[in-house]
């Protein structure tokens, strides 16, 4: 395709039928996409050892099937998030090698073992039992992205001693993901206890003036603890992806 | 005044100049306020030992002067909240016996000593130094309403050890007011440590997505700690008033 | 458990096998949870005579079963809120001793009689018939927490005489919970009639610009009656919990 | 222009060169704006006996002067709302016959006596002293529009007896305007006491979660009392204008 | 009942067994509701010729049955709003004399003919076909409240000629209800064409940034046409109730 | 009725009983609606070559049938948007000539070939696969309105090279519609690459803090690229309609 | 710089020291920015005949001076928007050739005559006198961008006849910009009268529930008239820029 | 202090004057802060090489002076953010060694050279010139925290080539901070180009529907590029603090 065009210019230069100045001019006006700069992208996922990811919510089962098959053909591991139990069951009929993770509402297919890429540990901390689906999505994602993952669940700020009892675990992590709904105060407390990057994930858990996670989101954005950054409501996947990148810094 | 009217009816009945049926009819059509039900209100403040309170914001100095003088004439103590320094100075020219409390942005005139009415201690806890004006308004109000007041300042959730170090003080209070801006997480943490009523006061301290105290307000309304109730943003006075009522329950 | 470790250090000091400086250093680095500070929490619920509480919304029936059984094993009474009729029926199959309260959407299991702990009466006032589920949750919770409870239902502000006719009842309560949807004005009116703590509960009753209870919530936060504090939308449980704490102040 | 076209058709009809049926058809398809339909509007204000009104906020003094002079030239009375004291003083230099109403932040010029047009009384009820500017704007507007106006001020819902004491006055009004900030509950209470149209005016009085009058606005829109309609925050003028129209229904 | 108590006091006074001072004291402490001030309310509905109204949304069929029967027993007409088709069918089984109005999602039972009470005509104008359920609720309510009602449907502002063609109808009405969703501009246009009270009803019709009727509500509150007042989103009943009161002013 | 009046005037003119000047005056004051000005509208749709459009959401199948039949009778093409699959199937039973477009959730009936009216190309660009239904609605609408339409799908801003690779296509379009959910950044990027009108369509795709498309909407309204205008969330139809008008400017 | 690298590769090919395949590979990995693709942008503004534009709000006078001088040096015309009177006066001291447009709050410097580029007329319609600054910014921008511009001011929807009287002007425009605050209904009405692209500009004019232009913005986004697109609040410049692009479509 | 108490207990045990059981009991009831767990905090700042930080907004000059002096006494470097020019000048009178950074609105005092602690480079990318104060605060903070910092300014998404031209710089950074106002799209574009943690900082730059940075904030939270985390509006300091932590992961 476009390589042909450039090849032709180069051949003309070699053959002397076009001089260097003219060739330079022609090259400058080629649409840059022809230079293959997009290919960086094509290889990025595999190079990183990251799985291919599908956001399952709002996609039909046939759509899911088509995309999963395409990704499998590329040879990598596959992670489909936001897959409810019924959709998961249907997909496992088509892909018997798939594993459905009920707690994380996700489906994975591992075509090759996950390579350990992140040097340290990613810790996932979670405030209440209702926040677990989001936390589990983060755990699963981080594992598939090549991190050692540890979890500390059910340590809400109204019962501080449970969190304080896990200070050792907190201090050993390289990056900490904190998942919390309701008032979203847990990341502030954790952020005050450690000197590690803390990624806060608000959840839509709550009712009334929680406004589907907005109260938790605002709480986290206004955290009085420095070092806390925030992702979208219920975005366990995004937190784990960011944590994976952080865990590779100088890794 | 109105008692006279009723007395007259009764006298007429006694004297036989009006029969019972007619008197009954007349009584039914008297405006009920004439029966003294409004008078409960007139005496409520003094009976409780509460000061007379003026919300100073948006009132001109002449308006303030008139109202203060009227309240003084009734004989009680006076508390004017939301009085800035300039307004306070002007008012002290008119009322030399007044005291201006710069930290609480309030002015008080004590015509008689505050009687101790609340049986226990009201504790005012405060997250950051910027929250102090609201906390100080609560402290001053609670004192003027006859409570012993203690304060624990600058114990934000990002430095838990400072709060934990004051657990003894927390456990000795009858009612706790917790003042916090930003993410408003402190009441949840305090509420998890004690078995006392906790009144949460969000402050407008913060910037950006704090939305003038809304983030803190939502955090407090969604507190995972039971026993926490909430008042309006920056409403130190209201919190202290409610705390005073609570401190008199069975007191 | 951890006490063993400390005991060992102390024995070593006693026996002279460890000197004081070294023992001091060891003690400093023990995780403080080992010192029993967490145990306060473990006993809190039973000590208070409060039931164990489960927030049923969003929990599956198997999850509910597991949690209820665990709580029963601890020996206390159990209260599960936000349990719809279908879920309630299923749970009563597993726990025949359970009682389902349709009006309060709650399920209770009393393993021992509720001990009367609150000294005064908790009064639950409610504006409209649609607010009754929230009010009933408050009534049930307050009763299980050891309070005498009275209720005054259907006394909206658009028909003041009904409320005014119950002034006697209002004045006899130690703490008043006021449940209201729509414009949420009832707590202001009640707060103006009494000198008791008033806990306002906005409900999600209404449509259009009620925004699922936000209009009522804002109305209550802006109440012109001092002494009113607010809990989250539909949070009948939280109001009753706070009322129970208030009813024990100096009780 | 367009008149020429119609005149030509009429001349053709007169001259017999076009018959009536054809002329009718042609007239029907003429653009209507050419028929002078706008003139209805030009006379509306004077015909109603309403003053000419200027919204003063954001207008410069020269702009105000020009508009006022233009309105005076038309011969009617003039009402300028949202005129602060400084602007009012400047304008009175130019128009010595003007009257500045400090409480209503308005300026009026009466070139002829206001004719009484509304048959009944318009009552303006107001919750707190801070709401008075809005109430006063409503009073002044209603008077200038030819209504008898009565006012009942400072009757907030937290002190019901003051309102109940004025039930006679409420029942004598034809239309009632209720002005209230904070939680905006007063219109509901008034609406429950009378069988008259109640126009609710939220004010921007309050702080924190009053959100500049939004809490009051929502409270009024969600009023549990039927018969209450609402205007924009602080819109005393609009309420009085609507009340004037209502006071002329069958008047 | 209570009258007996007062009668007894008066008899005692007459008989001399109680003196005037004591009788006065006793009367003062009687709950004022005993003086009959509440009775105004009991008779209000029937006196006005208004039907008894039930807000059907969120009420179960048994609840509806109980309330309807109770209202029927009082002898008046009954209007139940927000009754969907299924609920309506069930209720008509219990009350064969009931009529279900599918367009208005309402059910009525007329025990006696509606008496014409409003002197003029109530006009209901409606922007789009999707707004018709709300408009129909307004029409039905206004009719049952004794008004002559006319309707002008499907006259949105994007096709002005349809509205302009009905100017005669607009000018004949005593009160106009304008129902509109989306941008809610119709009341402004109607308000600019007439000198009658205009009650604007925003509807939840629309999608995206209509936010369930908020866009229309804000548009109406900010109407540039004076004389427009607003009710809650989808509140056709409330608009008609208010219109009925307006149609009786001086009627 | 009104025609009679005009006819009478014309007859008078013809008969000489009224002169032209007086007749002109009389005609000017007739209400313009009588002149049939609404007829302009009746012909607009057909004159433009635009299809008749029905917004299907919230309309019942019988309602849809009636409207479609009425439009067919007028002779034009028909486009029904927001028609789900089930409703589409039902309607195709009634109208066998109809075509259901599953991707666009729309149904069309072409009674005559679409005439090419727009001179240039309308390009529809779309960020993610979940945005396709909205994009497809825009494509279908633009085609039915007589435009040549091209599409560039799945070119989100997180993979810029895909968009940059299509710069040639962007530069050939006359008008560009950009459909995007989530952060809604694509229109800014496209707007920075071209000198054509860009119509941005936010979609409700996303979760959490996307607030049903509000995040995308705000992003588009705040675009740093000049030349971008915005329509309502998910309004593919509206974007295509506006694009059609733009494609005819000087066309 | 980078050209050198490419030139070197080409020379190597010419000289035979690098073969074509290797050269192709090297070229593919050159950063594409080296190919001059950025230069497209540098010439865009001048090529279009558009002025250079500075958003003046929030920029200091020294900053403004530096930027203006830099733009002047490039040879084009300059438009600075959001320049208040004081800033404008200061800048005119530095740039005596500048013209300050008080109504549009803008400053222009024309170094060469504006070339007429847009084929048709851009019409700017404006609802109220307070909207004029935004409208004037649009007028000035559109003129400087080479369009013939006409304006129709003060034609709010509450006085329809004024707008209807200008239908001729509306129908002659190629593109229409409609500027309106408060309820923002004017674009819907205009959009219903014409078959031209309508760009709606909400203004921050209003108070209370206008929320700084949000009410108008929502009204416009929900317009029932197809063909209306919207820009940010007060963005007269953006509307004119978009209108200029539209006026060149097929122009 | 507290160590003394424990030491005493241990000595008593050693000396046999207290037995192990009693000593154990005593230790359990010591406030745990006495065990040194709080001391971690006291040394954290210095140990990390982080400066002491003061949030200057809302603090008076005397308050600032006191805090700065206290921090200086602890021996570390000092960073005061949100210090306007006037406040900065006053503080430099008191602290001649201070440096005021006008672009970052910050003041620093370096008592000892900043030690390089972060292993890689922190890159600060910024969309527009108005975003520079926030970006400069991030740059200054990151430098003082021991990072090598590079900046890429003025690379908004509407002119992609400027950003693409800096791809080399992007790929060399360890962590990237992206500062943007308006639609906040830049972090998505940057996040799509790199495999590094991206911290997005929304700024309050914009007007109208930017809502003081909310549009940018929502855009960033909904970023379609994985790996992006977000801090509060205008929080350049917080972004740099988090970046510093990330730059030390495995560093």
pLDDT in the model for residue D136: 96
Indicate whether H21 belongs to any domain.
Answer: no
On the question of pLDDT at E49 being above 70, the answer is no
**Three-state SS for E99?**
strand
On the question of pLDDT at D38 being above 80, the answer is no
In Å, how far is H171's CA from the nearest CA of chain B? 31
Place B42 in a pLDDT band, splitting at 50, 70 and 90: very low
D242–E229 C-beta distance less than 8 A: yes
Measured distance CA(H174)–CA(A134) in Å, rounded: 28
Provide, as residue numbers in chain H, all residues whose Cβ is less than 8 Å from the Cβ of A52.
Answer: none
Provide, as residue numbers in chain G, all residues whose Cβ is less than 8 Å from the Cβ of A43.
Answer: none
Please report where in the chains the tokens 């229109």 appear, as a residue: F187
Provide, as residue numbers in chain C, all residues whose Cβ is less than 8 Å from the Cβ of D183.
Answer: 183-185, 188, 218-220, 222-224
Chain A neighbours, 3+ Cβ pairs < 8 A:
B, C, F, G, H
F245–G228 C-beta distance less than 8 A: no
Indicate whether F216 belongs to any domain.
Answer: yes
F226–G229 C-beta distance less than 8 A: no
Chain C interface, best mutation among B249, B250, B251, by max C CB count within 10 A: B249
**ipTM of the predicted structure?**
0.82
pLDDT in tens, B185-236: 899 989 988 889 999 999 998 888 888 999 999 999 998 888 999 999 999 9
Q: Count CB neighbours of B8 within 10 A.
A: 13
Indicate whether D4 belongs to any domain.
Answer: no
pLDDT in the model for residue F205: 84
Cα angle: B54, vertex B57, B59; to 5 degrees: 75
Q: Count CB neighbours of C19 within 10 A.
A: 12
Which chain H residues touch B if contact means CB-CB below 8 Å?
Answer: 31-33, 37-38, 40-41, 57-59, 63, 202, 204, 212-214, 217, 232-235
More confident call, B13 vs B157: B13
pLDDT in the model for residue A235: 96
CB G81 within 8 A of CB G54: yes
G161–D235 C-beta distance less than 8 A: no
Q: Do chains D and H meet with 3 or more Cβ pairs nearer than 8 Å?
A: no
Residues E225 and E155 in one domain: yes
**Three-state SS for E167?**
helix
Q: Which of B31, B40, B232 sits opposite D208 (nearest CB)?
A: B232
CB D230 within 8 A of CB C193: no
Provide, as residue numbers in chain C, all residues whose Cβ is less than 8 Å from the Cβ of D157.
Answer: 157, 185, 188-189, 192, 224-225
Of C38, C43, C40, C67, the closest CA to residue C55 belongs to: C67
Q: Which of H182, H192, H220 sits opposite F157 (nearest CB)?
A: H192
Residues A154 and A239 in one domain: yes
pLDDT in the model for residue G37: 28
pLDDT in the model for residue G159: 72
Residues A103 and A137 in one domain: no
pLDDT in the model for residue G166: 82
In Å, how far is C93's CA from the nearest CA of chain A? 24
pLDDT in tens, F37-67: 222 333 344 445 577 788 888 788 888 898 8
pLDDT in the model for residue B36: 28
Of B123, B58, B49, B111, the closest CA to residue B87 belongs to: B58
pLDDT-above-90 percentage for chain B: 45
Residues D37 and D73 in one domain: yes
Measured distance CA(G164)–CA(H196) in Å, rounded: 59
Mean pLDDT of H9-25: 82
Of chain G, the end-to-end C-alpha distance in Å amounts to: 40
Residues C169 and C104 in one domain: no
Mean pLDDT of D27-44: 37
pLDDT in the model for residue F247: 94
Chain E interface, best mutation among D79, D170, D197, by max E CB count within 10 A: D197
Comparing alpha-carbon positions, the chain D residue that sits nearest to E120 is D250
Measured distance CA(F203)–CA(F187) in Å, rounded: 12
Measured distance CA(H212)–CA(H202) in Å, rounded: 10
Residues F44 and F158 in one domain: no
D242–E226 C-beta distance less than 8 A: yes
CB B201 within 8 A of CB B219: no
pLDDT in the model for residue B44: 44
B23–E27 C-beta distance less than 8 A: no
Indicate whether H17 belongs to any domain.
Answer: no
**What mean pLDDT value characterizes chain F?**
84
D11–F14 C-beta distance less than 8 A: no
CB C205 within 8 A of CB C234: no
Q: Do chains G and B meet with 3 or more Cβ pairs nearer than 8 Å?
A: no
Q: Which two tokens stand for residue C5?
A: 């470790």
Q: Which of D191, D216, D222 sits opposite C182 (nearest CB)?
A: D222
pLDDT in the model for residue C38: 28
In order of B158, D68, D76, D77, D102, the CA distances from D92 in angstroms are 59, 11, 18, 15, 13
Of H236, E69, E187, G128, the closest CA to residue B207 belongs to: H236
Segments in chain H forming alpha helices (H): 2-15, 20-28, 39-48, 61-74, 85-94, 132-144, 160-164, 167-172, 186-193, 214-221, 236-247
Measured distance CA(H22)–CA(H26) in Å, rounded: 6
pLDDT in tens, B62-96: 888 988 888 888 778 899 999 999 999 999 999 99
Which residues constitute the domain of residue D49? 31-109
Indicate whether H236 belongs to any domain.
Answer: yes
**Three-state SS for H176?**
strand
D205–B204 C-beta distance less than 8 A: no
Phi/psi for H150 (5° steps) reads -125, 155
Provide, as residue numbers in chain D, all residues whose Cβ is less than 8 Å from the Cβ of F30.
Answer: 35
Phi-psi region for residue E243, left (φ > 0), alpha (ψ -120 to 50) or beta? alpha
More confident call, F98 vs H153: F98
Q: Which of C32, C33, C232 sits opposite A209 (nearest CB)?
A: C232
Residue B110: burial class (beta carbons within 10 Å; 0-12, 13-18, 19+): middle
On the question of pLDDT at E147 being above 70, the answer is yes
- Which residue positions in chain G have pLDDT lower than 50? 1-2, 29, 31-47
Least confident of B2-11, B32-41, F230-239, H48-57: B32-41
Chain D neighbours, 3+ Cβ pairs < 8 A:
B, C, E, F, G
Residues A80 and A191 in one domain: no
Mean pLDDT of F198-223: 92
D192–C160 C-beta distance less than 8 A: yes
Measured distance CA(B209)–CA(A200) in Å, rounded: 15
pLDDT in the model for residue D2: 47
In order of A190, G196, G242, H210, the CA distances from G106 in angstroms are 51, 28, 18, 22
pLDDT in the model for residue H67: 85
Measured distance CA(H179)–CA(H134) in Å, rounded: 7
In order of A70, C239, F131, H4, the CA distances from A66 in angstroms are 6, 52, 18, 71
pLDDT in the model for residue A32: 36
Question: Residue D98: CB partners within 8 Å, gap ≥ 6?
Answer: D91, D92, D107, D108, D109
Which chain D residues touch F if contact means CB-CB below 8 Å?
Answer: 3, 6-7, 10-11, 13-14, 16, 19-20, 23-24, 27-33, 35-37, 39
Chain F interface, best mutation among G46, G229, G237, by max F CB count within 10 A: G229
Measured distance CA(E158)–CA(F45) in Å, rounded: 14
Measured distance CA(D230)–CA(E199) in Å, rounded: 9
Indicate whether H10 belongs to any domain.
Answer: no
How many domains does chain B fold into?
2
Domain boundary among B86, B109, B132: B109
Provide, as residue numbers in chain E, all residues whose Cβ is less than 8 Å from the Cβ of C193.
Answer: none
Q: Which helix (H) or strand (E) holds H234?
A: none
Comparing alpha-carbon positions, the chain B residue that sits nearest to H212 is B208
* Helix (H), strand (E) counts: chain H: 11, 9
pLDDT in the model for residue G41: 36
Indicate whether D145 belongs to any domain.
Answer: yes
Provide, as residue numbers in chain E, all residues whose Cβ is less than 8 Å from the Cβ of C208.
Answer: 202, 204, 212-213, 217, 232-235
Residues G161 and G48 in one domain: no
Domain boundary among G109, G133, G158: G109
Chain B interface, best mutation among D161, D193, D204, by max B CB count within 10 A: D161
Strand partners for D122: D149, D175
Q: Do chains A and H meet with 3 or more Cβ pairs nearer than 8 Å?
A: yes
Could you state, in chain order, the average pLDDT of each consecutive group of 10 residues for chain C (251 residues)?
Answer: 66 85 68 32 47 84 87 85 95 96 94 86 91 95 95 80 81 94 90 91 90 92 91 96 92 73
Residue H240: burial class (beta carbons within 10 Å; 0-12, 13-18, 19+): buried
Indicate whether F153 belongs to any domain.
Answer: yes
Going by the DSSP 8-state scheme, the letter that residue B184 receives in this structure is -
Q: Which helix (H) or strand (E) holds C176?
A: strand C175-180
**What mean pLDDT value characterizes chain H?**
84
pLDDT in the model for residue F2: 47
On the question of pLDDT at D37 being above 60, the answer is no
Mean pLDDT of H187-212: 90
Q: Which two tokens stand for residue E69?
A: 């029967």
In Å, how far is C76's CA from the nearest CA of chain E? 35
For E42-56, the three-class secondary structure string (H helix, E strand, C coil) is HHHHHHHCCCEEEEC
Measured distance CA(D135)–CA(D105) in Å, rounded: 11
Measured distance CA(E202)–CA(E137) in Å, rounded: 13
Residues H241 and H170 in one domain: yes
Of F79, F33, F44, F87, the closest CA to residue F63 belongs to: F87
In chain C, which ranges are E strands?
Answer: 52-55, 78-81, 99-101, 106-109, 121-126, 148-153, 175-180, 198-202, 228-230
G38–H162 C-beta distance less than 8 A: yes
Query: How do strand F78-81 and strand F106-109 relate by DSSP bridges?
Result: antiparallel
CB pairs under 8 A between F and G: 98
pLDDT in the model for residue H224: 83
More confident call, D198 vs H18: D198
CB F80 within 8 A of CB F54: yes
Residues C133 and C164 in one domain: yes
Chain G neighbours, 3+ Cβ pairs < 8 A:
A, D, E, F, H
pLDDT in the model for residue C141: 96
CB pairs under 8 A between G and H: 41
A229–H199 C-beta distance less than 8 A: yes
In Å, how far is A35's CA from the nearest CA of chain H? 14
On the question of pLDDT at E247 being above 50, the answer is yes
Residues D134 and D240 in one domain: yes
Measured distance CA(G239)–CA(G142) in Å, rounded: 9
Question: Residue F112: CB partners within 8 Å, gap ≥ 6?
Answer: F75, F76, F77
Of B251, B101, B122, the closest CA to residue B178 belongs to: B122
Provide, as residue numbers in chain E, all residues whose Cβ is less than 8 Å from the Cβ of F203.
Answer: none
pLDDT in the model for residue G213: 92
Measured distance CA(F101)–CA(F104) in Å, rounded: 5
Measured distance CA(E240)–CA(E141) in Å, rounded: 6
Of D219, D242, D228, D241, the closest CA to residue D193 belongs to: D228
Measured distance CA(D138)–CA(D235) in Å, rounded: 8
CB H221 within 8 A of CB A201: no
Residues A130 and A238 in one domain: yes
Query: How do strand H106-109 and strand H78-81 relate by DSSP bridges?
Result: antiparallel
CATH of residue C226: 3.40.50.1970
Domain boundary among G51, G78, G109: G109
Least confident of E87-91, E156-160, G171-175: E156-160
Q: Which two tokens stand for residue A238?
A: 């995004």
- Which residue positions in chain A have pLDDT lower than 50? 1-2, 29, 31-47
Mean pLDDT of B42-65: 71
Please report where in the chains the tokens 């934000």 appear, as a residue: B156
């Amino acid at each position: 395709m476009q390589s042909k065009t450039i090849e032709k210019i180069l051949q003309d230069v070699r053959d002397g039928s076009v001089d260097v100045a003219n060739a330079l001019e022609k090259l400058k006006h080629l649409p840059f996409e022809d230079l293959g700069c997009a290919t960086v992208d094509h290889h990025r996922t595999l190079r990183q050892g990251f799985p291919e990811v599908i956001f399952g919510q709002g996609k039909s089962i046939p759509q899911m099937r088509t995309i999963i098959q395409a990704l499998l053909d590329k040879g990598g591991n596959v992670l489909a998030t936001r897959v409810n139990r019924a959709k998961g069951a249907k997909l496992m009929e088509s892909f018997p090698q798939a594993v459905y993770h009920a707690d994380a509402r996700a489906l994975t297919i591992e075509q090759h073992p996950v390579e350990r890429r992140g040097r340290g540990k990613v810790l996932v901390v979670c405030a209440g039992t209702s926040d677990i689906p989001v936390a589990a999505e983060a755990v699963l994602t981080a594992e598939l992205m090549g991190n050692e993952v540890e979890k500390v669940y059910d340590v809400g700020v109204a019962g501080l001693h449970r969190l304080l009892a896990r200070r050792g675990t907190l201090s050993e992590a390289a990056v900490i993901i904190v998942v919390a709904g309701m008032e979203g105060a847990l990341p502030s407390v954790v952020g005050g206890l450690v000197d590690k990057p803390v990624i806060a994930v608000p959840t839509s858990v709550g009712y009334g003036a929680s406004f589907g996670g907005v109260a938790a989101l605002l709480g986290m954005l206004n955290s009085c603890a420095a070092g806390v950054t925030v992702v979208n409501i219920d975005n366990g996947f995004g937190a784990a992806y960011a944590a994976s990148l952080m865990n590779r810094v100088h890794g």
